[in-house]
Structure 1
Amino acid sequence: MASPILPGTGLGSGLDTGAIVKALVAADKAAKQGQIDRGTTTNTASISGIGTLKSLLATFQAALKDLGSTTTPQFTGFASTTSDAKIVSATASNSAVAGTYTVVVDKLATSSKVASAAFAGGATSPIAQGTLTISQGGKNYTVDVPAGATLQSVRDSINSQYQASGFSANIVSDSFGSRLVLGSSTTGAGSEIKLSGIAELAIDGTQPMPGTPTATSAGAIGALPQDASYTVDGMKMSGPSNTVSNVSGLSMNLVATGTATITVAGNNDGLKASIQKFVDAYNAVANAVTSLTKPSLDDDGNPTVAAALTGDPLPRSLLAAIRGPLSQTGAGDKLTVLSQLGITTDQKTGALNFDSVKFTAAMNDKKLGGEVQTLFTGTNGLIERMNNVIKPYTDTGGILDTRTTNLNVTKTRLAADQEALDRRVQTLTDVLTKKYNDMDTLVGKLKATASNITSMFEAMSAQQKNS
Structure 2
Amino acid sequence: MASTIVSSIGQGTGIDIGNMVQVLVTADTAAKKAQITRQTSNNAAMISGVGSLRSALTAFQDAMAKLNNKTTPSFNAYAAKSANESVVKVTAGNTAVAGTYDIAVNQLATGSKVASPPFGGGASSAVTAGKMVVQQGSNSYEIDVPDGATLQSVRDQINKELGVQGISANVVNGEGGARLVFSSTTTGKGSDLMVSGIPGLEIDGTEQMSDTGGGYITAIAQDAELTIDGLAVKSAKNTITDAISGITLELTGVSAKSGATATPTSVTVSQDNDGLKKSVQSFVDAYNTLQKTITALTTSTRDEDDNLSLGPLSNDPTTRALVNDIRKVLSEVGSGDQLTTLSQLGINTTKDGTLEFNSVKFTSAMNDKKLGSQVQELFTGDNGLISRMNKAIDPYNATDGSLATRKANLDKVAKNLADQQTALDRRTEALTESLTKKWVAMDTAVAKLNAQANQIKSVFDALNAQAKNS
TM-score w.r.t. the length of structure 2 is: 0.94
Residue 456 of structure 1, CA deviation: 1.8
- 1:385-416 per-position Cα deviation (integer Å, ceiling 9, x unaligned): 11111111222221121111111111111111
Match of 2:333 in 1: 329
Please give the secondary structure, in 2, of the residue aligned with 1:180.
strand
Task: Return the alpha-carbon distance in structure 2 between the equivalents of residues 234 and 369 of structure 1.
Answer: 30
Match of 2:259 in 1: none
Q: Does 1:319 align with 2:323?
A: yes
Task: Return the alpha-carbon distance in structure 2 between the equivalents of residues 233 and 187 of structure 1.
Answer: 25
Q: 1:276 aligns with which of 261, 273, 281?
A: 281
Q: Does 1:429 align with 2:432?
A: yes
Q: Is the CA contact 1:4–1:433 (under 8 Å) kept in the aligned structure 2?
A: no
Task: Return the alpha-carbon distance in structure 1 between the equivalents of residues 304 and 439 of structure 2.
Answer: 52
Q: Is the CA contact 1:115–1:181 (under 8 Å) kept in the aligned structure 2?
A: yes
Match of 1:221 in 2: 217
Distance 1:303 1:108, change over 3 A: farther
TM-score w.r.t. the length of structure 1 is: 0.94
Please give the secondary structure, in 2, of the residue aligned with 1:444.
helix
Deviating more after overlay: 4-13 vs 399-408: 4-13
Q: Is the CA contact 2:2–2:428 (under 8 Å) kept in the aligned structure 1?
A: no
Task: Return the alpha-carbon distance in structure 2 between the equivalents of residues 183 and 289 of structure 1.
Answer: 57
Distance 1:43 1:6, change over 3 A: closer
Please give the secondary structure, in 2, of the residue aligned with 1:43.
helix
Task: Return the alpha-carbon distance in structure 1 between the equivalents of residues 127 and 113 of structure 2.
Answer: 21
Please give the secondary structure, in 2, of the residue aligned with 1:172.
strand
Residue 311 of structure 1, CA deviation: 3.2
- 1:189-209 per-position Cα deviation (integer Å, ceiling 9, x unaligned): 111111112122221101011
Residue 4 of structure 1, CA deviation: 8.3
Task: Return the alpha-carbon distance in structure 2 between the equivalents of residues 237 and 274 of structure 1.
Answer: 35
Residue 34 of structure 1, CA deviation: 0.6
Distance 1:323 1:105, change over 3 A: same
Residue 128 of structure 1, CA deviation: 2.5
Identity %: 50
Distance 1:416 1:51, change over 3 A: same
1:253 partner amino acid: E
Please give the secondary structure, in 2, of the residue aligned with 1:307.
coil
Task: Return the alpha-carbon distance in structure 2 between the equivalents of residues 299 and 16 of structure 1.
Answer: 40
Match of 1:51 in 2: 51
Deviating more after overlay: 436-445 vs 106-115: 106-115
- 1:164-217 per-position Cα deviation (integer Å, ceiling 9, x unaligned): 32222222111233221111111111111111121222211010113xx2xx32
Q: Is the CA contact 1:207–1:220 (under 8 Å) kept in the aligned structure 2?
A: yes
Distance 1:391 1:180, change over 3 A: same
Match of 1:78 in 2: 78
* Count of residue correspondences: 461
Residue 15 of structure 1, CA deviation: 1.0
Q: Which runs of 5+ in 1 are unaligned?
A: none
Match of 2:387 in 1: 384
1:251 partner amino acid: T
Match of 1:309 in 2: 313
- 1:51-102 per-position Cα deviation (integer Å, ceiling 9, x unaligned): 1122222222211111111111111111111111111111111111111111
Q: Is the CA contact 2:2–2:425 (under 8 Å) kept in the aligned structure 1?
A: no
Match of 2:248 in 1: 251
Please give the secondary structure, in 2, of the residue aligned with 1:315.
helix
Match of 2:420 in 1: 417
Match of 1:10 in 2: 10
Match of 1:363 in 2: 366
Q: Does 1:288 align with 2:293?
A: yes
Distance 1:266 1:229, change over 3 A: same
- 1:309-366 per-position Cα deviation (integer Å, ceiling 9, x unaligned): 233233222222222211111111100001001111112x211111111111000000
Task: Return the alpha-carbon distance in structure 2 between the equivalents of residues 59 and 158 of structure 1.
Answer: 45
Task: Return the alpha-carbon distance in structure 1 between the equivalents of residues 43 and 102 of structure 2.
Answer: 67
Q: Which runs of 5+ in 2 are unaligned?
A: 256-263
Q: Does 1:401 align with 2:404?
A: yes
2:328 partner amino acid: G
Q: 1:375 aligns with which of 375, 378, 383?
A: 378
Residue 253 of structure 1, CA deviation: 1.4
Residue 47 of structure 1, CA deviation: 1.6
Please give the secondary structure, in 2, of the residue aligned with 1:310.
coil
Task: Return the alpha-carbon distance in structure 2 between the equivalents of residues 257 and 314 of structure 1.
Answer: 61
